[in-house]
Amino acid sequence: MAVMEDDFDSPPPEGDSPPNRRKKPRRGPRKVTPRYLENAALHYLQRFATSAGNLRRILMAKVERSARAHDTDPDEGADLVDALIIRFTRSGLLDDRAYADARVRTLHRHGNSARLITAKLRAKKLDSEVIEAALAALAEDAADPELEAAAALARRRRLGPYRTSARKASHDKDLAALARAGFAYDVARRVIEAETVADLEADIADPPP
């Protein structure tokens, strides 16, 4: 039977010996070794796709905690991390371009503007060149990526033609919502001021030259 935390707050029944309430001491940060860093990196990559820069940031946080706890040289840990990142990149475990391509398309489908996508990928420590290449690849497959993304966000948040009521009264509010999401004013107007969802979808499928 599972033991709940509250079980330790009530006194033991009379006549019973008190339970051992001493909690195990919390373990401090482990001392960084090449094996430890590799295992930590592989464990992370099994759960998440990420960039080389972001994985380095995660591992360096472990290095810095370990250095403080064990009075070791963080520069030595940084050298171990850099060597690991190089090895994983050469083996294909880390691929910034593939990660950027996949992430850009996912964010685009969820209604993120190019400006917001760029900010999110920069936060993952991706180079500007890699981000720009991924956005360019997206543009090759979509007639108007920004309009598509703005429409996707409007659909998710029920803005403009996706509203079922009070559309006219919400016009300025809906425009502002798309502007805050990073979309240009003309793109926001095309979405919010579309007469119907069908009209907006037609505009996306066959944008004006």
What is the pLDDT at residue 186? 97
Same domain, 104 and 56: no
Is the Cβ–Cβ distance between 51 and 125 less than 8 Å? yes
Decide if 199 is inside a domain.
Answer: yes
The rounded percent of the chain whose pLDDT value lies above 90 is 79
> The whole model's pTM is what?
0.80
**CA end-to-end distance (rounded Å), the chain:** 68
Residue 125 lies in a domain: yes
Statement to judge: residues 80 and 50 lie in one domain: yes
Say which CATH number the domain at 135 has: 1.10.10
Distance CA(190)–CA(201), nearest Å, equals 11
Residue 14 lies in a domain: no
Distance, CA of 11 to CA of 45 (rounded, Å) = 46
Domain count, the chain: 3
The whole-angstrom separation of Cα 118 and Cα 48 is 20
- Is residue 74, in this structure, part of any structural domain at all? yes
Same domain, 151 and 193: yes
- The answer to whether residue 6 is domain-embedded is no
**CA 204, chain centre distance (Å):** 27
Would you place residue 143 in the very low, low, confident or very high pLDDT band (cuts 50, 70, 90)? Answer: confident
Phi, psi (deg, nearest 5) at residue 195: -65, -45
Please say whether the beta carbons of 147 and 207 come within 8 A. Answer: yes
Is 175 inside a domain boundary? Answer: yes
Choice among 1-5, 94-98, 141-145 with the minimum mean pLDDT = 1-5
Q: What is the pLDDT of residue 23?
A: 64
Residue 174 buriedness (CB in 10 A; 0-12 / 13-18 / 19+): buried
pLDDT (tens digit, 9 = 90+) per residue, 18-75? Answer: 555 666 666 778 899 999 999 999 999 999 999 999 999 999 999 999 999 999 899 9
Given a contact cutoff of 8 angstroms between Cβ atoms, the answer to whether 157 and 178 are in contact is no
CA–CA dist 140, 117 (Å, integer)? 17
- Best CA proximity match to 59, nearest among 79, 80, 81: 81
Residues 84 and 128 in one domain: no
What SS3 class is residue 118?
A: helix
121 within domain boundaries: yes
Domain extent for 154? 145-205
Q: Is 183 exposed, middle or buried (0-12, 13-18, 19+ CB in 10 A)?
A: buried
In 3D space, the residue among 152, 138, 125 whose CA is nearest the CA of residue 56 turns out to be 125
Residues 73 and 113 in one domain: no
Average pLDDT over residues 7-15: 41
Shared domain for 167 and 192, answered yes or no, is yes
Residue 1 has pLDDT above 70, yes or no: no
Residue 43 maps to a domain: yes
* 105 lies in the same domain as 67: no
Tell me the pLDDT tens digit for each residue of 164-198: 999 999 999 999 999 999 999 999 999 999 999 99
Q: Which of 119, 106, 122 is nearest to 181 (CA)?
A: 119
**76 shares its domain with 109:** no
